[in-house]
Structure 1
Amino acid sequence: MFYGFDFDATMLRIASMNLIMHGVASPDIHYQDTLSQGVAEKRPQAAKSSFDLILANPPFKGRLDEQDVSPDILRVVKTKKTELLFIGLILRMLKTGGRSASIVPDGVLFSSSKAHVQLRKHLIEDNQLEAVISLPSGVFKPYAGVSTSIIIFSKGGSTDEVFFYDMHADGYSLDDKRQPVKDNDIPDILAQYQRWCDRDGDFSGRTQQAFGVPKGDLVAQNYDLSINRYKQQVYEAEQHENGRVQACQRASVGFCQRRASQNLLRSRSFLLGIPQPRCI
């Protein structure tokens, strides 16, 4: 059975029609603010520990009055930010062992506010955070250009290691036109994640698109979940005919290297008497 909640009447009609077109004859879609205190009274069966699977794309950058939010959610994360409150709501609505895949703005993964760290710590210490899939900027164009990721987690259990994937393409151009293109990482994400779940292969190397990060490393970084915190970039020094040394990222030769690496090469060039590198 498929359920859904929203307090936008237009979205309710669109969601119902979408489910019907995909074979769900009687979609159970309701007009309801699921963050409010009244949801437990109006729909007690759906408010707590009711669902095996929740897929969500919560509102970004919204703010609510804490007095209107259910106290159960505020006990998970005390904040006014909707992108954090909805993750707390999802945890409340899942059965123990239930799973969720939710799209969140990247700020949820790395922001250092007390509420952000509190939520990430709760996901890792009190639940099983399974995966963080970093999406390329542009997947929501032309409607929004915010950088986002998918987090996959289960209610309860414990986190030992987290699967990370650096997605570069989704089969469509990353501009406002969003036209079909050949590059598409989605099949590889599914294959690599299945291998990860089956413990088939070595995911310790962090130079690839798919890799694992042990819980201890996450804790050491204050529960930071941004992929750039853990992925290792590979740089090569190339000698050109004119004698200049240029550092290029193996995955994207021709782009300027990161500032830190550039400064390091400049220092080495100065000490060795080699002309300083320039970006092209």
Structure 2
Amino acid sequence: MIGSTVENPIYLEAHQKFRWHTFKNLDPESLFTLFTQAQTDSDNLTTFEHMKQLGSGAGVFAQFMKGATFMIPTPKLLEQVVQMIDKIKMDDRDTKGDLYEYLLSKIATAGTNGQFRTPRHIMKMMVDIMQPTQEDTVCDPACGSAGFLVATGEYIHDNHPDWFHEQDFRTHYNNSMFTGIEFDSTMLRIGAMNLQLHGIDSPQLIGRDALSEANAETRDQYSLILANPPFKGSLDYDSVESSLLKTVKTKKTELLFLALILRMLNIGGRCAVIIPDGVLFGSSKAHKQLRETLLSKHKLDAVISMPSGVFKPYAGVSTAILVFTKTNNGGTDNVWFYDMQADGYSLDDKCSPIADNDSADIVKRFKQREQEHKRKRKRTEQI
């Protein structure tokens, strides 16, 4: 009520200098001092250390910020950063998240350890295909910067804003709906901040190797998995959880992650996952075994082949999206195939926007795939 005392205020009287409208007007030396020297009114912490503790009672931000260090070297550079941020219009809920995702796209380490940042428009297309529900528990077992979890949250905000009128859903959304697993502590920190900037307060972020014995208890738990697991990089074969090797005995991470996803999904759970073309055409015993498992024991819904330039400039590998449902009793009668020719961007290192884009057609036709068998197709050359 107007005139009443605010309970648990974010800014106490001594902390008013940290509010943006005051903070941005400080001179460069004062700004730098706040960030680099302990402040008596902030529990003798620097402002940066104090910021790292924000949300410790309700979110994961503080947990994964423990190892962060302040890297801006001079007062002048800090002032320039503050002034640049101040010029950005923050009225739109998406602005902070968009800015952060732009910075993510510039990370120099992308492509190491088999990690390739999934283009935002591809994640959006996959989420649109899967149509998350109110009750879904969503997981990415190789979450990186948490892009798939963020994309799921954005889908819900854009398509079902009325869900947030329900207290039960708001509690689910902010606490139990989203889970990300990632072994790289730096990426976990980035993912935690990405989720927080997109308004997801307390997601479940787990710092471990999803393929390892440490993750052995995670099974039959999620109703929706969205992922782009690493195709290459190092693998500690001796630490791979034993049940995965019983499903598919291999050192190829893409096959092991598919086995993991099948273990983590509950019955009826759905998945959209990016895989290298080798999963579809590989001739090894492990490749054949995994394909047989998907086709005969579960329900393979769709295969969407993507152009080889989708992941440029990081990689030119040919990839596809598998969409399947865990049933444990088969159900694959028809598999919907789509050969994507264009994703709205040039397939070179520049990734410039272009007019050709199959994404909307893919989403529309996937939702109507039961009628696809009536669709007339061009005859293709038989090999």
TM-score (norm 2): 0.51
User: Is the 1:5–1:29 contact (alpha carbons within 8 Å) kept by the matching residues of 2?
Assistant: yes
Distance 2:232 2:288 in 1: 17
Q: Indicate the residue corresponding to 1:176 in structure 2.
A: 349
> If each structure's helix is expressed as a fraction of its own residues, which one has the higher value?
2
One-letter amino acid of the structure 1 residue matched with residue 325 of structure 2: S
Distance in 2 between residues matched to 1:169 and 1:233, nearest whole Å: 22
Partner AA of 2:211 in structure 1? L
Does the CA contact (< 8 Å) of 1:130 and 1:154 recur in 2? yes
* Shift in Å, 1:207: 3.2
* Shift in Å, 1:171: 0.8
1:99 maps to which of 270, 286, 289: 270
Match of 2:280 in 1: 109
Q: Tell me: CA distance 1:84–1:179, structure 2 relative to 1, closer, same or farther (3 Å).
A: same
Tell me the CA shift for residue 2 of structure 1: 0.4
The alpha-carbon deviation at position 84 of structure 1 amounts to 0.5
Q: Which residue of 1 aligns with 2:335?
A: 162
Task: Select the structure that is richer in strand.
Answer: 1
Q: What's 2:318 paired with?
A: 147
| Distance in 1, Cα, partners of 2:239 & 2:348 | 38
Equivalent AA in structure 2 for residue 181 of structure 1: I
| Residue 36 of structure 1 pairs with residue 209 of structure 2 | no
Which residue is equivalent to 1:17? 193
Q: 1:38 to 1:181 in 2, by over 3 A?
A: same
1:67 aligned to which of 208, 217, 238 = 238
Instruction: Give the % identical residues.
Output: 57
**Rounded Cα–Cα distance in structure 2 between residues aligned with 1:204 and 1:73:** 39
1:2 corresponds to 2:201: no
State the alpha-carbon separation in 1 of the partners of residues 342 and 281 from structure 2: 22
1:126-147 per-position Cα deviation (integer Å, ceiling 9, x unaligned)? 0000000000111100011100
Distance apart, 1:233 and its partner CA: 4.2
Shift of 1:204: 6.3
1: distance between equivalents of 2:322 and 2:348? Answer: 24
Q: CA deviation at 1:3?
A: 0.3
Map of 1:120 onto structure 2 = 291
Query: Does 2:262 correspond to 1:86?
Result: no
Q: Which position in structure 2 is the counterpart of 1:251?
A: none
Tell me the SS of whatever aligns to 2:268.
strand
Q: Take 2:374 and 2:182, find their aligned partners in 1: how far apart are those partners?
A: 39
Q: Equivalent residues in 2 for 1:109-258 (5 A)?
A: 109-156=280-327, 157-196=330-369, 199-202=370-373, 205-207=376-378, 232-233=380-381
- With over 3 angstroms needed to count, the CA separation of the structure-2 counterparts of 1:60 and 1:151, relative to structure 1, is same
Asked whether the equivalents of residues 2 and 27 of structure 1 are also in contact (C-alpha less than 8 Å), the reply is yes
Q: Distance in 2 between matches of 1:62 and 1:134?
A: 23
User: TM-score normalized by structure 1?
Assistant: 0.69
The amino acid across from 1:135 in the alignment is M
* CA distance in structure 2 between the partners assigned to 1:66 and 1:120 by the alignment: 21
Aligned pairs, number: 205
Contact conserved, 1:62 with 1:81, CA < 8 A, in 2?
A: no
* Separation of aligned partners in 2, 1:117 and 1:82: 15
Q: Secondary structure of the residue that 1:85 maps to in structure 2? A: helix
Q: Which amino acid aligns with 2:198?
A: H
DSSP-derived class of the 1:78 partner: coil
Indicate how the Cα distance of structure 1 residues 7 and 201 shifts in structure 2: closer, same or farther if over 3 A, else same: closer
Cα-to-partner distance string for 1:130-172 (whole Å, 9 max, x where unaligned): 0000001111000111000000011114211100000011111
Supply the RMSD in Å over aligned alpha carbons.
1.8
For structure 1, which segment, 94-103 or 57-66, has the greater mean C-alpha deviation from structure 2 after superposition?
A: 57-66
User: Which sections of structure 1, spanning at least 5 residues, go unmatched?
Assistant: 209-231, 235-259, 261-280
CA distance in 2 between counterparts of 1:129 and 1:22 reads 32
Q: CA deviation at 1:23?
A: 2.6
User: Shift in Å at residue 24 of structure 1?
Assistant: 1.3
Q: Following TM superposition, by how much is the alpha carbon of 1:68 offset from its aligned partner in structure 2, in angstroms?
A: 1.3
Distance (Å, rounded) in 2 between the aligned partners of 1:170 and 1:149: 13
Instruction: Quote the residue 1:254 is aligned against.
Output: none
Give the corresponding residue for 1:55: 226
